[in-house]
Amino acid sequence: MDKAFLRISFVATLLALFVIVLGAYVRLSDAGLGCPDWPGCYGKLLAPTAATDVAAANQAFPEQPVESPKAWKEMIHRYFASALGLFIIALAGIAWKQRKTLGQQVKLPLFLVILVGFQGALGMWTVTLLLKPAIVTLHLLGGMLTLALLWWSMLTHWQNKTHRDKGDTRLTVSPTLRRWALLALVVVYCQIALGGWTSTNYVALHCWDLPTCQGQWLPPTDFKEGFTLWREIGVNYEGGVLSREAGTAVHLTHRIGAAITFLVVGGLSLALFFSGSVAGRRFGALIAFALCVQVALGLLNIILVLPIAVAVAHNGGAAVLLLSLVTVNRRIRPITQDKPIAVNDNYSSDAQFN
């Protein structure tokens, strides 16, 4: 069971990363409304392809004619997301079965079941609320959080096992550097939120030049409209509805966030690299590489006018950068072993959530 939890955690993490990248591809290829209903597609489990199925779907949903390629993209994303949910349920089942075992996490796997259920609801609302930016951005953030917690859970389980077998193997750093690593993790997650808001409002090209925006350092902006989080229901938000000034405000904020992220995360990578340990140098180099690739992809999105392959890779790069910071934060935290607790028929105790 110990190895099964570790293996399923690893597979689930890879699957979560794939679902995030696939979701970005679906969104960026304008297939987010490829199926106008949920959880099926035009009332069926499979997207309509045959002429008779397409004709029936068009009759049932006259307001949104079938585009089979887009419908299949959306449904394939749903299939993989559902598979991820099953893996997470399996993890929770193993954790509950092993809840009396020293070092077994229980709270986090159970929380992941709740989180993936909420993710399913956000997926439904993404369709039924016609790609409302607030919902789509929350869906992205929920996916990133699921990915990060799965990876954290796997690393915690592995470190607990290593701690029992070989002793403390964590990366020892100063309290200041530990706080810096946590700050970098929070900053990257906030920058992902800004990136999601930029993408879901379709304003990635509102600043089409570098380093200026529309040929100016500070073009006309409307931050109030740009960051109005909740808008009217019943509007199709595909393609975006923001004014040029509002879209520019969102894009500029994402650029400013990118600069802050570069400074905070870049500084962390340098601090780790010169921390004096081999592991510190490796982690510093890993974070620096992930950060530089992500910045390069962001620049290429502007220079090459948002090619879909680069835009999807930019989403994947954000996920990888997040994982690298989760790894560092897990490795520098002390391992807390649970104390054995006597369990009787009326009481059970789960493992401490690190």
Q: How many residues does the chain have?
A: 354
Q: Does 63 participate in catalysis according to the annotation?
A: no
Two tokens, residue 141: 């953030």
- Placement of tokens 């959880």 in the chain: 39
Which one of the listed residues 63, 74, 225, 232 is annotated catalytic?
A: 74
d(CA 109, CA 93): 9
- Placement of tokens 């029992």 in the chain: 164
b/e code 96-133 from CB counts within 10 Å (16+ = b)? eebbeeebbbbebbbebbebbeebbebbebbbebbbbb
d(CA 264, CA 193): 17
Q: Which residues pair with 216 in a beta bridge?
A: 213
Q: What are φ and ψ of residue 213, in 5° steps?
A: -130, 115
Q: Whose CA is closest to 351, among 107, 183, 179? A: 107
Residue 55, Cβ neighbours under 10 Å: how many?
A: 12
Q: Which amino acid is at 266?
A: G
Catalytic amino acids?
74
